[in-house]
A and B are shown apart, each in its own frame.
Chain A
Amino acid sequence: MDDAPDLRAHPVRGAVGAAAAHDSAHKHVAGAAIYVDDIPEPPDLLHVWCVMSPHAHARIRSIDLADVRSAPGVIDAVSAADIPGKNDIGPMVAGEPILAEGIVEYVGQPVVAIAATSIKAARTAGALARVEYDVQPAVLTVDDALAQGLFVAPPVEFKRGDAAAALARAPNRLSGTFRIGGQDHFYLEGQVALAIPQEDGDLLIHSSTQHPSEVQKMVAKVLGLAANAVTVEVRRMGGGFGGKETQPAMFAAIAALLAQRTRRPVKLRLDRDDDMMITGKRHDFVVRWQAGFDGEGRITALDMDLAARAGHVADLSPAIVDRALFHADNCYYIPDVRLRGFACKTHTQSNTAFRGFGGPQGMIAIEEVVDAIARRLGRDPLAVRRVNFYGTTDRNVTPYHMVVEDNIVHGLVDELERWADYQERRRAIDAFNRTSPILKKGLALTPLKFGISFTATFYNQAGALLHVYTDGSVHLNHGGTEMGQGLFMKVAQIVAEELQIDVDRIKISATNTGKVPNTSATAASAGTDLNGAAAQIAARTIRGRLADFAAAHFAVPREAVRFRRNEVEAGANVVPFATLAALAYRARVQLSATGFYKTPKIHWDRDNARGRPFLYFAYGAAVAEVLVDTLTGEYKVTRADLLHDVGHSINPAIDRGQVEGGFIQGMGWLTTEELWFDAKGRLATHAPSTYKIPVASDLPRDFRVRLLEGARNAEDTVHRSKAVGEPPLMLANAVFFALKDAVAAAAGAAPSLAAPATPERVLLAIEDARGGAATP
């Protein structure tokens, strides 16, 4: 890597389309990649431990920290009363504390933060904190919150036509209640922040965050500082998945508060159990629906209420509920529709962003409806899915009045059906089930359509910063963050393509609020679309200046200047890129540029639930096959075939990794990952011993993954690529409906199954369906 660069002409390494390794792969395999907790500890470092609420809901009568402060090793201890600025890190709605103020609203809520010379000293001193509570009644579930009308934000409604009237005249009607569980992020690297005091009372904060600009803003607000006094840097995260979008602000702010008070560096790293107790998760939902449909299963009317457990404060819940509604159509046209969304207030962790951001819950809800209709009519669910697909020229308007212009679901599903031998296997499985009394197989094909863009339009902007040095090497910076998804590599490939230089000549640098300001979270799958486009614009600016210079220098027309193969041609003159950079410098050409991108076309009128919130849609589909032991409910995913649309891929290896990883993570959500709260609102599954994310042996026995070939984004995105971070998670819907298919085969009746479909639930569903239906 450090060898002298090859300046002779050669094809550009790591250009757009190359299946290049992750930018840090060589460091990861050597244990040389630095995460926040690996930064060499500054002298005098203090470690923080938080005293957490033992109650789901209580008034704080008093806090006495005298004994804590005099405990061995303790340097400082704080509660809400010690916050100099505002005790509020609410990203959408004001009033979300870093330390409980007057009231605690979930088991695990930080009340006191203790800084000590070791984590052990801080934790030991925690037992000496005297906090007195008046316990209040707690609201723990969506059902209770709905019954009491408790919400963290006003309900929302999307509608088109007249759902009630259309339901009344529908030839067939069906209704149901569907429960969808939450999910812990379980990023392997837990939440961590390191705050280091600087001159003038400024702070440098290393935070494992997807949203450095928000950490900067929130820390400044909590400490009563200007934003320019706080610099936040993040080189990489050990996974994020949405769990490091808003959540890190709390830990960064607590560390910063203690650093400000003690004038010493302060680190706050949560251990796994504390992380799971304190941080918000994917929202669990309760969905109630009523659908009208014709004899083929074509939906004519839908009335659906989607209620999410938001937790104690809003966090991002209003936007997450919106995105659930945005995806409660999935690929299906619904002529008369009313969707209502509720962000229910409960005395639990404040649920937050998680890959898909409510979209997966909305999408699986409509899949449940389609599946139920198919089973009522005795038709193959794939046939019913098909009759409901959005059209390409008509039947193409969503419940939020956006026209679906780029629909490719028909062709994609046809291709998957052929490639995965769906029909053949359907027949074989039905035959197997007829003769196998105990073991039953299930099969399902589910499609997905996922809207790309932040639905809050203003977030759809990004900045980049690019320097070319006189040896032709390049420094690249942008507002996106690297959490393993390969963003840094893809953006570097885009710059390599633009400048026609090897990607290893481009230094990828840590995201830093001092370099590119006011950034959006790396979220909504939009990392490459936004930051890649911004970096491309910056690179084009520099290339343009270099081309102007080369034309003048070599006295050729501008059109005769070409960048290719690590060289620049100016008519008959050919020089290495590095040589041109050095010449341009001496001619006083600016070799540094910023790039700024904002997504075109999008607009959203939230009050009237109308607009074009998304620039485009990503599509995909999956077939899953399962084998269920009907005596125990245990099962195995025997095969999965995934076909996913990433447009024109900037890096097919990275994109494929997102598809595989997203699918398995989605499978975990829908099968093994069960969050279990006791009657007092205490999360009982707060460690991997009881909370089961997928392990390698859970992989489908036969796992086939393909990116849709020849695909191109219909919209003018960077290199016509498509976002890939979130959508593949929803390919896992196929696993859930394959399990339902097997349960139906076992019971001979339409089953009722909640997510996650744990073996216990599968067994119960079989027994319920058998008991509840006259077996034919």
Chain B
Amino acid sequence: MPKVSMTVNGKAVSAEVEGRTLLVQLLRDQLGMTGTHVGCDTSQCGACVVHVDGRSVKACTMLASQAEGSQVTTIEGLAKDGKLHPMQEAFRDNHGLQCGFCTPGMIMSALELVKHKPNPSEHEVRDWLEGNLCRCTGYHNIVKSIQAGAAAMRGGK
């Protein structure tokens, strides 16, 4: 079986994978990093969003081999020294979750938005989230969380 090597959350990893192994399968099944969720298996729901070389990617859409040599960041990699990232804190503090299944993907997706738009309007957040489904919250608090998280990040917290 071919071998892939990449950096996941700052740690070098390598694993043997079949050619058709998806990035999300590598993360969850082989590396045991189950914070990245699978909600639809078909690139629709956004529960599996991770960052590959700084860009948000649906990990159920990318082959593990395509991430060869890349820097991958998952939800587990956001907290630093035991302290949650401001976007994570914002979701917790603004009730931006219910069942939590969509949350990791929402947060990873939100971080990509904030990179392009450090101060996104409510409208911009809503539009950006087109590819992230949530069945529980009705999105209202997710939008608020993202705006609060963006504000905290601007504040350099």
Chain A residues within CB distance 8 Å of chain B: 19, 21-22, 24-35, 37-38, 40-41, 185-190, 236-239, 241, 271-273, 483-486, 653-654, 656-657, 660-665, 687-689, 693-697, 699, 703, 705
Contacts and interface: CB of A to CB of B under 8 A. Distances in A.
Interface string B66-99: 0000000011101100001000110111010111
Contact of B44 (A22, A185, A187, A689): A689
A688 B44 contact: yes
Contacts of A190: 39
Contacts of A660: 137-138, 140-141
B126 A699 contact: yes
B99 A189 contact: yes
Which of A29, A30, A486, A656 counts the most chain B CB atoms within 10 A? Answer: A29
Contacts of A24: 100
A687 B44 contact: yes
Contacts of A25: 91-92, 95, 97, 100
A657 B100 contact: no
A485 B137 CA distance: 9
5 contacts: A22-B97, A38-B28, A660-B140, A696-B134, A699-B126
B151 interface: no
A654 B95 contact: yes
Nearest to B91: A29
B107 interface: yes
A763 B31 CA distance: 51
Given A22-B95, A29-B107, A484-B98, A273 B42 contact: yes
B147 interface: no
Interface residues of B, number: 55
Contacts of B40: 272, 687-688
Contact of A28 (B39, B42, B78, B97): B97
A29 B92 contact: yes
A606 to B, nearest CB: 33
Given A30-B79, A31-B74, A696-B132, A664 B42 contact: no
- Top 9 nearest A-B pairs (CB, nearest first) are A31-B35, A484-B99, A28-B100, A238-B101, A664-B138, A31-B75, A38-B34, A484-B98, A696-B129
A189 B37 contact: yes
Which of B34, B42, B136 counts the most chain A CB atoms within 10 A? Answer: B136
Contacts of B76: 30-32
A699 B139 contact: yes
A26 B95 CA distance: 11
Which of B35, B89, B129 counts the most chain A CB atoms within 10 A? Answer: B35
A663 B45 CA distance: 20
A188 B133 contact: yes
A35 B47 CA distance: 13
Contacts of B92: 21, 25-26, 28-29
Given A664-B137, A695-B132, 14 more contacts: A26-B92, A29-B89, A29-B107, A30-B88, A38-B34, A188-B99, A188-B133, A189-B39, A237-B99, A238-B39, A484-B99, A688-B40, A693-B133, A695-B129
A279 B143 CA distance: 31
Contacts of A273: 41-42
B103 interface: yes
Given A239-B99, A241-B135, A697 B130 contact: yes
B124 to A, nearest CB: 10
Given A665-B135, A687-B42, A699-B126, A30 B99 contact: no
Contact of B139 (A22, A28, A29, A696): A696
B95 A696 contact: no
A29 B88 contact: yes
A664 B35 contact: no
Contacts of B32: 40
Contact of B138 (A30, A32, A40, A665): A665
Contact of A238 (B37, B88, B127, B139): B37
Contacts of B126: 696-697, 699
A703 B142 CA distance: 14
Given A188-B39, A696-B142, A29 B97 contact: yes
A29 B101 CA distance: 10
Nearest to A687: B42
Contacts of A38: 28, 34
A484 B136 CA distance: 7
B102 interface: yes
Contact of A188 (B33, B75, B102, B138): B102
A72 B93 CA distance: 50
A29 B103 contact: yes
B139 A664 contact: yes
A34 B138 CA distance: 23
A142 B139 CA distance: 34
B107 to A, nearest CB: 6
A670 to B, nearest CB: 14
Contacts of A21: 92-93, 95
Contacts of B37: 35, 188-189, 238
A422 B3 CA distance: 65
B36 interface: yes
A661 B35 contact: no
